[in-house]
A and B are shown apart, each in its own frame.
Chain A
Amino acid sequence: METLGFLMDGFAVALTPYNLMFALFGAFVGTLIGCLPGLGPANGVAILIPLAFTLGLPPETAMILLTSVYAGAMYGGRISSILLNIPGDEPAMMTCLDGYPMAKKGRAADALAISAIASFAGSLIGTLGLIMLAPVLARFALTFGPAEYFALFLLAFATLGGITGKNPMKTVIAAALGIMISTVGIDISTGTQRYTGGVLELYEGIDFILAIVGLFAISELLFFVEARMGKGRSKVNMGKLTLTFKEIVSTIPTQLRGGVLGFIAGVLPGAGASLGSFISYTLEKSVLGKKGRFGEGDIRGVVAPEAGNNGAASGALVPMLTLGVPGSGTTAVLLAMLISLNITPGPLMFTQNADIVWGVIAALLIGNVLLLILNIPMIGVFVRLLSVPPMYLLPIVTMVAFVGIYSISHSTFDLYFMILFGVGGYVLRKLEIPLVPIILGLLLGPEMEKNLGHALILSDGDWTTLWSSPLSIGLWLVAGLGLVLPTLVGPILRRRMRNAIKEGPVSD
């Protein structure tokens, strides 16, 4: 068992007191980020990147911190779903369906507790899947040449909108914009200045961290200003914890099913955590049929989506770690951290930076235990923080973003750039241009160009090399499907998801 040995090494990295402290801190902050409205997981992780930098953390500690935040955010998303009927993040949407009715019946504490357990189970299953699948996939990915990588990057963009995405053309536009921004600066292979306009600050290109923070944090602030939701919303009472051991045991099959389905949805390109929680909820509903009282506060209706979305969250790390191709916004931000730590993501990471990869995986396992421990007794703390109105919270978050960006370079030039990205992000979001492909474009653009160049040099400028191996043809096909399928299947799936959500409030 080679993997087990690596995992043990990973534990040795993650269990040092220093790293453990950051894992705990990350888990706490992550839960906070997940439950606070207006601070999605991608946004939250993005704001923490500059801080991880300026603290001068070693790479494995920085990654452990951010992965714990990521795991924590998935836990936290459910808190506002259950108490406020507002999902803290998109995948927590399905948790509203049974979580909120449960809370209204006075079983909020039970719903929070059982969902914490389900999150733990889902995450555990997902992480175990990650441990088994990632090394295999990484070994397979070693056979990829530059042409295959080029096709793989295209596939990542094509499937990013997800199967439920609305307008695939807008994903294409967003990706193109992102890659275009990444071409600013001095060309690595020839030294030609591109789109710098002679501005010294642009010679090294546009720092994607400030672009990410601007796009997410600043545009979020503007959205809140527009929506005038500064006051926050009222929430239901917690109630007493009446969850019995028998009830927990009765949901075990649901947890297993949800976790496995979620993991699969997380690994597959174009599916993601939202679909993971949706599939596990609908499956649970059809498996249990009339025996369940879904939509009216059935405990399994809380367990299924939570296990699903946490399984998917770990699953989404598989393509990110093994191929360097993230499938979601938050994993894209994690990739940004890797790149800025000077670690080349992809299969080689498993051999060259084994301590980091396995440290992160072990941290994920430890983080889950920490999260479970944190989430049951300390739930009251998070619930109280939930009542901090956004009108105080968002300006402070924005300020922290400013401080983070400023402390990287100590130049206000970067701050203006960040504001510019924020305003641009706001306008694009209003026009329903997704921001995640822009970020992925920023991150993958240079790699894409490099691989294109290598492929063409290897083939003496013959462009057909890009689709000459069976593997690359397969990748091109899936990429094509990723663009075509949403227009065919998307409307149906979206309608189903909407219907499922509509049923909830109507029946109470």
Chain B
Amino acid sequence: MTGLGDRILGLCLLVLAVAYGWVAQQWPEPFGGTEGVGPETFPTMLAVVLVVGSLYLMIKPDADTQWPVGKTALELVVSIIVLVVYALLLEPLGFVISTTLAVGTLSWRMGAPAKSAFAIGLLSAVVVFGLFNYGLSLSLPTGLLGGF
């Protein structure tokens, strides 16, 4: 079926819109009552707009785009994991180590030779760390290199 992507998106948006609109109806009336506009008025309008939009998407979808498959999809997942792990390790490992690893891995996966990728990672990490901590006196986490 053509336009599958848009149809699925439309369905997801429809669910989102209905849930969003339904939640808005559950809020208690604010103290003192409302004059014209309550907290739920605007969200309800938005929910209606999004319902119409999502229905339109499902009825008249655009042609499908090419989605990444196989190895490319894997590379994408790896990149996202690298980003999440970077955020996870930023504080415990410290800025320099985690940045070297994250920038290095990303560059390497994007096609750079591993050695130069990690070298660039280390270099950029040290430069940015120096710039922030000593130049701008904004502290980035030092982590394992705490004494440094």
- Is B80 an interface residue, CB under 8 A from the partner? yes
Contacts A173-B13, A392-B107 known; A398 to B140 CB distance under 8 Å? Answer: no
How far apart are B138's CB and chain A's nearest CB, in angstroms?
5
Q: Which residues on B sit within 8 Å (CB–CB) of A392? A: 107, 112, 117, 120
A430 to B90, CA, bound (A): 30
How far apart are A170's CB and chain B's nearest CB, in angstroms?
8
- Is B142 an interface residue, CB under 8 A from the partner? no
- Is A46 an interface residue, CB under 8 A from the partner? no
Hey, what's the 0/1 contact readout for B66-77 against A, CB within 8 Å counting as 1?
011000100110
Q: Are A190 and B30 in contact (CB under 8 A)?
A: yes
Q: Are A176 and B46 in contact (CB under 8 A)?
A: yes
Q: Are B107 and A391 in contact (CB under 8 A)?
A: yes
Partner-contacting stretch, out of A99-107, A455-463, A494-502: A455-463
Q: Which residues on B sit within 8 Å (CB–CB) of A448? A: 42
Contacts A177-B50, A407-B140 known; A167 to B62 CB distance under 8 Å? Answer: yes
Q: Are A226 and B38 in contact (CB under 8 A)?
A: no
Partner-contacting stretch, out of A255-263, A279-287, A372-380, A412-420: A412-420
CB-CB nearest in chain A for B78: A225
Q: Which residues on A sit within 8 Å (CB–CB) of B103? A: 395-396, 398-399
A433 to B6, CA, bound (A): 10
A460 to B55, CA, bound (A): 34
A231 to B113, CA, bound (A): 11
Range of interface residues on A (Cβ < 8 Å): 35 or more
Contacts A228-B72, A395-B106 known; A187 to B79 CB distance under 8 Å? Answer: no
Q: Are A430 and B67 in contact (CB under 8 A)?
A: yes
How far apart are B130's CB and chain A's nearest CB, in angstroms?
12
Q: Are A169 and B53 in contact (CB under 8 A)?
A: yes
- Is B1 an interface residue, CB under 8 A from the partner? no
CB-CB nearest in chain A for B66: A430
Q: Are B9 and A224 in contact (CB under 8 A)?
A: no
Q: Which residues on A sit within 8 Å (CB–CB) of B13? A: 173, 177
- List CB contacts (< 8 Å) of B31-73 with chain A: 34-39, 41-43, 46, 49-50, 53-54, 56-57, 62, 65, 67-68, 72
Q: Are A407 and B138 in contact (CB under 8 A)?
A: yes
- Is A156 an interface residue, CB under 8 A from the partner? no
- Is B88 an interface residue, CB under 8 A from the partner? yes
How far apart are A42's CB and chain B's nearest CB, in angstroms?
20
Q: Are A391 and B87 in contact (CB under 8 A)?
A: no
Chain B binding surface SS class: helix
A400 to B86, CA, bound (A): 13
- Is A406 an interface residue, CB under 8 A from the partner? yes
How many chain-B residues does the 8 Å CB contact rule pick out?
62
Q: Which residues on B sit within 8 Å (CB–CB) of A225? A: 72, 75-76, 79, 109-110
A391 to B117, CA, bound (A): 9
Q: Are B37 and A394 in contact (CB under 8 A)?
A: no
Q: Which residues on A sit within 8 Å (CB–CB) of B110? A: 224-225, 228, 230, 390-391, 394-395
Q: Are B111 and A230 in contact (CB under 8 A)?
A: yes
- Is A249 an interface residue, CB under 8 A from the partner? no
A175 to B95, CA, bound (A): 36
CB-CB nearest in chain B for A417: B87
- Is A128 an interface residue, CB under 8 A from the partner? no
Q: Which of A180, A398, A416 contacts B84 (CB 8 A)?
A: A416
Q: Are B65 and A176 in contact (CB under 8 A)?
A: no
A172 to B24, CA, bound (A): 21
Hey, what's the 0/1 contact readout for B20-32 against A, CB within 8 Å counting as 1?
1001100110100
How far apart are A403's CB and chain B's nearest CB, in angstroms?
6
How far apart are A411's CB and chain B's nearest CB, in angstroms?
10
CB-CB nearest in chain B for A406: B90
A402 to B121, CA, bound (A): 14
Contacts A183-B42, A430-B65 known; A402 to B23 CB distance under 8 Å? Answer: no
6 example contacts (A-B, Cβ-Cβ < 8 A) are as follows A189-B39, A190-B34, A394-B110, A395-B103, A399-B103, A456-B36
| Given A177-B50, A190-B39, 6 more pairs with CB closer than 8 A | A187-B39, A226-B76, A392-B112, A407-B140, A412-B91, A419-B80
4 closest cross-chain pairs (CB), A and B: A456-B36, A395-B106, A391-B110, A230-B110
